[in-house]
């Protein structure tokens, strides 16, 4: 490269200084700094966003024998856990989550409840003394059982081992005998719904669960406080649940013994549903009150199995209507969509369409992103407004029409994030709620020719989510104001991914990258940085400015038209438009202009114009006077100040 002359350099510097004289507070060095990633890729997590060649994670297998006492609302159970340490470190202790301990008037989460007003996560005035009652905790070595040395602190339990679990394949088996009272409303994730034909028990966070030990933080022992959800190891579950024979029980995974727990007629209908694209009624509304619709025994044990799962949940009731239909998967495999609900929720405008919604949702996501991996997808009508677990979800029993479609599609969308892609929800809630909101928006357009498709949102009206008055997406849910959670975990990241897909990368590049991320991290534990790297590498784009402004920080976007003039003062030679970036966020520019004769046109500019400029001048190749210039005419960017987006003659 030839050296510039000293005089020329001075001229350029002077002109740049003049062009940058502005009231804008925009700092392009802060937004476009190349120092985004704080660490290099390694053998565990590669620089391109894939799991590294030495990636590892531990495994937890559960065998649970449980009994429901519906007269006491009590679950009693014994869980045997086999824990495999695949890490390169020996483990002298292990940590478990005891999430039921939240539902106690002395828990940390209870102490965080506001003394007045509503909270989704609890009631400050509650005197409910729930939580796990641990009858015994034993280490199992072959046929020998010994009492374990353990402590319980709020919603965490540590077992201190007499001998460390060996690295790279060592195993530990232990057994816990316990019981708890089901809370009537458990942080909108578990609970009891009263109906005229009996209670519906929606049971979750119901067994001691292994904390994740990973290469990022070691043991992840953040307490359960209500707002933040879960981070769990994958494993296989064998679960036996004993209830009164009058009850229908549904759970995660495959029902292994339908012939033992169903009547002959129900078994025939159940098998018929496996090959039917139309909804098949297994137990009708009329049969709910008919004693003959259940085997005439005191109790029955329902046996379930699910593999490569991070959790297990279930529901039981005398009150269930039960229907089902076949799910068709891209590989040719089949699964089963099912719904259980009370007569109060029945009807073609309500839960009578639940299985149709479930089937459509699972088939769509399987086609677009990654194939559904489980035997069944069960929708349960509950007093829980909406909560997801592998192969089963709880949705509001009063939901109807588009509301029922929306909550059903959302909760089953969680099958992919975080049930398949097992991110740390307790720290990064946006990696499941935001991702799910994004795929929900596409799904609603796909379903039944757009029956419940929402109108395009005006991004200019979302400006309240941006700027220093709002926390960043990167805060943990527990560190957000509860009133902000819906926007910061759901709406804002969902919108951000949609923006990437539609306007920054385009559908082809984004979808390829998103599918690869999902496939690479299926049944694994990605971090936000793994996601960022994965999308950037697969799409071939440096998006550090986007992540920094939209996710790590809450930067506000404010694009403005500041001047319109003609080349040499002559409209026939074209127009020069000066625009300015006045907020700390940047975006590409879409400018629409209108001429005196009524003609319209557009000019698009890439985000790179803001890499080293506060203001920018671009030329419109027009040959007549302009009457209007408008930035972002379709309102696709979250511009916080619409008043300076236009110029008019």
Express each pLDDT in 569-610 by its tens digit. 999 999 999 999 999 999 999 999 999 999 999 999 999 999
Place of tokens 């939240």: 102
> How much is the pLDDT for 118?
86
**CA–CA separation, 320 vs 248, rounded Å?**
7
**CA–CA separation, 88 vs 326, rounded Å?**
43
Better-predicted residue by pLDDT, 216 or 9: 216
> How much is the pLDDT for 188?
95
CA 486 to chain centre: 12
The answer to whether 149 touches 160, Cβ cutoff 8 Å, is yes
Q: What is the rounded average pLDDT of the residues 387-406?
A: 98
**CA–CA separation, 266 vs 282, rounded Å?**
5
The answer to whether 197 touches 246, Cβ cutoff 8 Å, is no
**CA–CA separation, 315 vs 202, rounded Å?**
4
Count of positions (residues) in the chain: 649
Question: What digits encode the pLDDT tens for the residues 179-218?
Answer: 999 999 999 999 999 999 999 999 999 999 999 999 999 9
* 467 pLDDT tier (thresholds 50, 70, 90): confident
> How much is the pLDDT for 162?
98
Q: What is the rounded average pLDDT of the residues 127-145?
A: 96
Sign of CA dihedral 368, 369, 371, 373: negative
114 Rama sector, left if φ>0, alpha if ψ -120 to 50, beta otherwise: beta
Q: What is the rounded average pLDDT of the residues 131-149?
A: 97
Residues in Cβ contact with 21 at an 8 Å cutoff, skipping those fewer than 6 apart? none
Q: What is the rounded average pLDDT of the residues 440-452?
A: 94
**CA–CA separation, 577 vs 565, rounded Å?**
7
**CA–CA separation, 131 vs 422, rounded Å?**
26
Torsion of the alpha carbons at 453, 458, 463 and 466, rounded to the nearest 10: 40
Distances (CA, A) of 463 to 34, 435, 496, 556, 610: 27, 20, 13, 7, 20
> How much is the pLDDT for 5?
43
φ, ψ at 14 (rounded to 5°): -65, -45
Q: Work out the number of other CB atoms within 10 angstroms of the CB of residue 125.
A: 9
Mean pLDDT over the full length of the chain: 95
Q: Is 207 helix (H, G, I), strand (E, B) or coil?
A: coil
Q: What is the rounded average pLDDT of the residues 49-68?
A: 98
**CA–CA separation, 619 vs 630, rounded Å?**
14
> How much is the pLDDT for 21?
55
**CA–CA separation, 284 vs 279, rounded Å?**
12
Q: What percent of the chain has pLDDT over 70?
A: 97
**CA–CA separation, 313 vs 189, rounded Å?**
10
**CA–CA separation, 226 vs 476, rounded Å?**
12
Helix-strand-coil split of the chain, %, nearest 5? 30, 30, 40
> How much is the pLDDT for 116?
84
> How much is the pLDDT for 468?
79
**CA–CA separation, 620 vs 567, rounded Å?**
10
**CA–CA separation, 137 vs 80, rounded Å?**
10
> How much is the pLDDT for 7?
37
Residues in Cβ contact with 132 at an 8 Å cutoff, skipping those fewer than 6 apart? 98, 100, 101, 178, 179, 180, 208
Question: What digits encode the pLDDT tens for the residues 525-574?
Answer: 999 999 999 999 999 999 999 999 999 999 999 999 999 999 999 999 99
Among residues 639, 645, 546, 642, which one has the least CA distance to residue 591? 645
Segment among 19-23, 181-185, 284-288 with least mean pLDDT: 19-23
Residues in Cβ contact with 608 at an 8 Å cutoff, skipping those fewer than 6 apart? none
**CA–CA separation, 424 vs 429, rounded Å?**
7
DSSP H or E stretch at residue 195? strand 190-195
Quick one: 5 exposed, middle or buried, by C-beta within 10 A (0-12, 13-18, 19+)?
Answer: exposed
Quick one: 214 exposed, middle or buried, by C-beta within 10 A (0-12, 13-18, 19+)?
Answer: buried
Q: How far apart are the first and last CA of the chain?
A: 45
Among residues 181, 184, 185, which one has the least CA distance to residue 119? 185
The answer to whether 87 touches 56, Cβ cutoff 8 Å, is yes
327: tokens are 């799910």
**CA–CA separation, 553 vs 474, rounded Å?**
8
Question: What digits encode the pLDDT tens for the residues 345-380?
Answer: 999 999 999 999 999 999 999 999 999 999 999 999
- State yes or no: pLDDT of 23 exceeds 80: no
CA 18 to chain centre: 47
Question: What digits encode the pLDDT tens for the residues 214-258?
Answer: 999 999 999 999 999 999 999 999 999 999 999 999 999 999 999
> How much is the pLDDT for 299?
98
**CA–CA separation, 232 vs 55, rounded Å?**
17
> How much is the pLDDT for 12?
39
What is the DSSP annotation of 422-436? ---TTT-THHHHHHH
Q: What is the CA radius of gyration of the chain?
A: 28
Strand partners, 209: 97
Q: Is 231 helix (H, G, I), strand (E, B) or coil?
A: coil
Segment among 115-119, 300-304, 471-475, 553-557 with least mean pLDDT: 115-119
**CA–CA separation, 51 vs 76, rounded Å?**
39
Quick one: DSSP state of residue 351? G
Q: What angle do CA 97, 72, 156 make, to 5 degrees?
A: 10
DSSP H or E stretch at residue 136? strand 133-141
Please state the pTM of the whole predicted model: 0.94
Secondary structure string (H, E, C) spanning 80-134: EEEEEECCCCCEEEEEEECHHHHCECCCHHHHCCCCCCCCCCCCCCCCCECCCEE
**CA–CA separation, 93 vs 163, rounded Å?**
9
What is the DSSP annotation of 364-416? HHHHHT----SSEEEEEEESSSEEEETTEEEEETT--HHHHHHHHHHHHHTII
């Amino acid at each position: 490269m030839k050296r510039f002359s000293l005089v020329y350099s001075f001229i350029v510097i002077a002109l740049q200084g003049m062009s940058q004289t502005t009231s804008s507070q925009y700092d392009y060095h802060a937004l476009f700094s190349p120092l985004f990633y704080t660490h290099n890729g390694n053998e565990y997590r590669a620089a391109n966003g894939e799991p590294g060649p030495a990636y590892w994670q531990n495994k937890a297998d559960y065998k649970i024998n449980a009994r429901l006492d519906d007269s006491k609302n009590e679950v009693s159970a014994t869980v045997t856990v086999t824990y495999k340490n695949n890490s390169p470190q020996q483990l002298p202790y292990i940590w478990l989550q005891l999430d039921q301990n939240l539902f106690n008037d002395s828990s940390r989460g209870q102490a965080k409840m506001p003394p007045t007003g509503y909270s989704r996560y609890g009631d400050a005035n509650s005197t409910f003394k729930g939580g796990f009652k641990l009858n015994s905790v034993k280490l199992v070595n072959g046929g020998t059982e010994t009492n374990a040395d353990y402590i319980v602190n709020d919603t965490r339990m540590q077992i201190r081992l007499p001998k460390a679990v060996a690295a790279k394949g060592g195993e530990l088996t232990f057994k816990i005998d316990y019981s708890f009272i089901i809370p009537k409303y458990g942080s909108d994730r578990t609970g009891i719904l009263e109906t005229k034909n009996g209670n519906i028990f929606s049971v979750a966070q119901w067994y001691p669960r292994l904390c994740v030990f990973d290469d990022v933080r070691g043991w992840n022992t953040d307490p359960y406080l209500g707002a933040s959800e879960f981070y769990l190891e994958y494993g296989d579950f064998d679960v036996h649940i004993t209830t009164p024979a009058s009850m229908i029980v549904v759970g995660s995974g495959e029902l292994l013994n339908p012939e033992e727990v169903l009547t002959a007629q129900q078994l025939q209908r159940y098998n018929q549903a496996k090959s039917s694209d139309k909804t098949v009624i297994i137990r009708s509304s009329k049969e709910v009150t008919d004693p003959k619709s259940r085997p005439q025994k005191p109790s029955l044990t329902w046996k379930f199995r699910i593999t490569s799962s991070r959790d297990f949940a279930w529901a039981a009731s005398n009150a269930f209507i039960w229907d089902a239909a076949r799910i068709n998967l891209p590989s040719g495999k089949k699964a089963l969509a099912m719904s259980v609900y009370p007569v109060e929720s029945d009807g073609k405008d309500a839960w009578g369409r639940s299985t149709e919604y479930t089937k459509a949702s699972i088939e769509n996501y399987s086609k677009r992103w990654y194939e559904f991996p489980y035997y069944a997808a069960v929708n349960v009508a509950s007093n829980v407004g909406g909560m997801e677990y592998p192969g089963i979800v709880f949705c509001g029993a009063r939901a109807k029409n588009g509301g029922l479609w929306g909550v059903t599609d959302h909760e089953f969308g969680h099958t992919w994030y975080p049930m398949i892609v097992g991110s740390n929800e307790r720290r990064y809630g946006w990696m499941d709620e935001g991702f799910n909101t994004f795929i929900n928006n596409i799904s609603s357009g796909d379903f039944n020719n757009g029956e419940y498709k929402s109108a395009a949102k005006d991004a200019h009206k979302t400006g309240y989510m941006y700027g220093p008055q709002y926390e960043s997406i990167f805060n943990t849910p527990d560190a957000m104001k509860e009133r902000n959670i819906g926007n910061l975990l759901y709406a804002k990241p969902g919108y951000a991914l949609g923006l990437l897909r539609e306007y920054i990368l385009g559908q082809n590049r984004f979808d390829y990258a998103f599918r690869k991320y999902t496939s690479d991290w299926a049944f694994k534990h990605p971090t936000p940085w793994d996601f960022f790297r994965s999308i950037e590498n697969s799409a071939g784009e440096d998006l550090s400015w986007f992540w920094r402004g939209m996710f790590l920080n809450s930067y506000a976007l404010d694009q403005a038209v500041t001047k319109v003039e003609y080349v040499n003062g002559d409209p026939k030679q074209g127009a020069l438009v000066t625009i300015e970036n006045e907020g700390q966020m940047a975006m590409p520019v879409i400018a629409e202009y209108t001429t005196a004769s009524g003609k319209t046109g557009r000019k698009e500019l890439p985000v790179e114009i803001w890499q080293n400029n506060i203001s920018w001048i671009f030329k419109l190749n027009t040959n007549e006077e302009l009457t209007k210039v408008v930035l972002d005419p379709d309102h696709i960017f979250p511009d916080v100040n619409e008043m300076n987006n236009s110029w008019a003659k």
